[in-house]
Amino acid sequence: MRHALILAALLATTACSMDPKAVEQTLPVPPSWPIGDAYLRQSEATLPGITYRDIFRDSRLRGLIEQALANNRDLRVAAANIAAARAQYRIQRASQLPQIDLGGRAGYTDNGNNDAGTGGTGARASGGRASYSADVGVSGFELDLFGRLASLTRAEQNRYFATEAAARATRLTLVGDIADAWLTYAADASLLRIAQDTTASAERSVDLTRARLRGGIAPRTDLRQAEQVLATAQADLAEQRTALAQDVNALQLLVGAPIDPPLLPASIEEAAETIAELPAGLDSRILLRRPDVVQAEYALRAANAEIGAARAALFPTISLTGALGFASSALSSLFSGGAFNWSGSGNAAYPIFRAGAGRAGVALSEAQRDAALATYEGSIQAAFRDVADGLARRGTIDEQLRANELQARATADNYRLAEARYRGGVDGFLSSLDAQRSLYSAQRTLVFTRQIRASNLVTLYRALGGDMILALDTPTS
């Protein structure tokens, strides 16, 4: 029995593999990012070692991110999924080794009563027998001669690795979402300040036009127009207060805990300056370490291993059963020399007719592998587009920001001049009103552009997927 168990273990570890040979796929994207007027003209370089602390330099934002990494419920779900996938892999791996069971039994058999004679009288005989046994054995251990169990184990292992990559993708997305939500709050804080300034200016305009109306030097239409501007500014002010409260709610959901007010930015002008640049002139192969691409790659490997298991299922199944132990009619003599016994048997099964189910199983696994391959290539192509789109925005946003800053300065000066001319009676109120509306629109546009520029840096950080904390070493068996 000992020799049989050793032989079984050796056969289990030296089983052949029927997995298709993995072929390295050619990346379905260009070898480098597109370069043109809308793209940064930077030399190709290797992505430097970075963490989110290098990109997000404001200690308040980093504090929120660290809170989220500890409290976010999506991350807890991802951690539970990893634990479940790891356990499933260990369960499948255990099927490659024999399961050894220890058992014991005690029984008593009564032969019954026998009555002899007539008239209800006679001799009475009775008898019974006790039995005891203890054994250890292996039941139905499959010899993995054709690698079916090994292929299934590799498939589960790669699904486990894919689950880990999915968790890293969740973490990377969470960090980016918190940065975006923090910048959104900063932009809304700036818009609130603009609405407050515009409301105060509109109130002064209403007071001025009402006084001019009373003095007979301004028509009633001037007053109504000034009141329209004031009502619009007051409505925007209420809307921005609502937006700020909702921004805090969004951050609390991401962080998974109440937000400490000192961790919130005062304006987009302040917050945008704390987001650092990320090198953009990169070899597109850097996408292979994006968590979602890594996840798709492991899913492809798992599908490839399933083909090997399906192929091996076409061959005979050989299993061993063995036991050794002691049996006796008396407990005191259970472990004496004469009570020892052992047994062993082998079983081979080969399906003769399954109506093509075996080959259909191979065809199914091959089709699933082809689908996983297409998904893997699609993930790379989508990642390439994410980065290329981010670079396109990055290549033009500074020029747009400079233009918006110039426009805001010009409209502010124009409003100052128009208001002075109105107060001096040189121009009508319509010129001042148009100037005020133009200034309000230009200031809001400048805020949005600053937010877009800062969010673009967050997008590039997330699209490249290169955070050292999130991109863990590729797991091995």
User: What is the CATH classification number for the domain harbouring 162?
Assistant: 1.20.1600.10
Q: Which pLDDT score is estimated for 32?
A: 43
Give pTM, 2 decimals: 0.74
On the question of pLDDT at 469 being above 70, the answer is: no
Residue 372, CA distances (Å) to 184, 225, 298, 376, 377 in order: 37, 63, 9, 6, 9
- At residue 420, the pLDDT reads 85
Q: Is 476 exposed, middle or buried (0-12, 13-18, 19+ CB in 10 A)?
A: exposed
Name the more confident of 55 and 267. 267
| Residue 272 near residue 217 (C-beta atoms within 8 A) | no
d(CA 201, CA 434) in angstroms, rounded, equals 14
DSSP strand pairing (317-328 vs 340-349): antiparallel
Mean pLDDT of the chain: 79
Strand partners, 346: 320
Closest CA to 93 of 139, 149, 49: 149
- Report the number of distinct structural domains present in the chain: 1
Q: What is the pLDDT of residue 60?
A: 94
Give helix then strand counts, H and E, for the chain: 10, 4
Averaged pLDDT for residues 367-385: 86
Beta partners for 107?
A: 131
- For 87, the token pair is 């356990």
Instruction: Give tens-digit pLDDT for 316-368.
Output: 777 777 776 666 666 555 566 566 677 777 787 777 777 888 888 888 888 88
Determine, yes or no, domain membership for 343.
no
Distance CA 315, CA 354 (A): 13
Q: What is the pLDDT of residue 19?
A: 62
Distance of CA 342 to the CA centre of its chain: 54
Residue 474 within any structural domain of the chain: no
Q: Which two tokens stand for residue 211?
A: 């006084």
- Any domain includes 139: no
Q: In what order do the strands lie in the sheet with 100-115?
A: 100-115, 124-143, 317-328, 340-349
Q: Which of 332, 324, 323 is nearest to 132 (CA)?
A: 332
Q: Each residue of 175-187: pLDDT tens digit? A: 999 999 999 999 9
Question: Whole-angstrom Cα distance, residue 357 to residue 304?
Answer: 19
Residue 261 has what DSSP assignment? G
118 pLDDT above the threshold of 50: no
Structure tokens at 363: 């065809």
Q: What is the dihedral of CA 347, 350, 353, 359, to 10 degrees?
A: 140
Domain assignment present for residue 176? The answer is: yes
The rounded Cα 445 to chain-centroid distance in angstroms is 34
| Structure confidence by residue, pLDDT tens digits, 57-115 | 999 999 999 999 888 888 888 888 888 888 888 888 888 888 787 877 787 777 665 55
Range of the domain at 441: 25-100+147-316+358-464
Three-class SS of residue 342? strand
The answer to whether the beta carbons of residues 369 and 19 sit under 8 Å apart is: no
State the pLDDT at residue 399.
93
Average pLDDT, stretch 119-138?
63
Domain assignment present for 113: no
**What gap in Å lies between CA 415 and CA 405, rounded to an integer?**
15
DSSP code string of 362-429? HHHHHHHHHHHHHHHHHHHHHHHHHHHHHHHHHHHHHHHHHHHHHHHHHHHHHHHHHHHHHHTTSS-H
Note whether residue 92 is domain-resident: yes
251 has a pLDDT exceeding 70: yes
Token duo for residue 70: 């500890």
Cβ-defined contacts of 312-317 (< 8 Å, 24+): 312/18, 312/146, 312/147, 312/148, 312/151, 313/148, 313/358, 313/361, 314/358, 314/359, 314/362, 315/145, 315/146, 315/350, 316/348, 316/349, 316/350, 317/142, 317/348, 317/349, 317/350
* Weakest mean pLDDT among 12-21, 125-134, 320-329: 12-21
- Would you list the DSSP string of 74-138? HHHHHHHHHHHHHHHHHHHHHTTSPPEEEEEEEEEEEEEEEE-SSTT---EEEEEEEEEEEEEEE
For every residue of 111-124, DSSP letters joined together read: EEEEE-SSTT---E
User: Angle between the 73-94 and 59-71 helix axes, to the nearest 10 degrees?
Assistant: 40
User: What is the reported pLDDT for 356?
Assistant: 84
| 373 within a domain of the structure (yes/no) | yes
Residue 114 lies in a domain: no
Amino acid at residue number 212: R
User: Residue 192: which of 443, 450, 408 has the closest Cα?
Assistant: 443
Packed helices 429-464 and 220-255: angle between N→C axes, nearest 10 degrees: 10
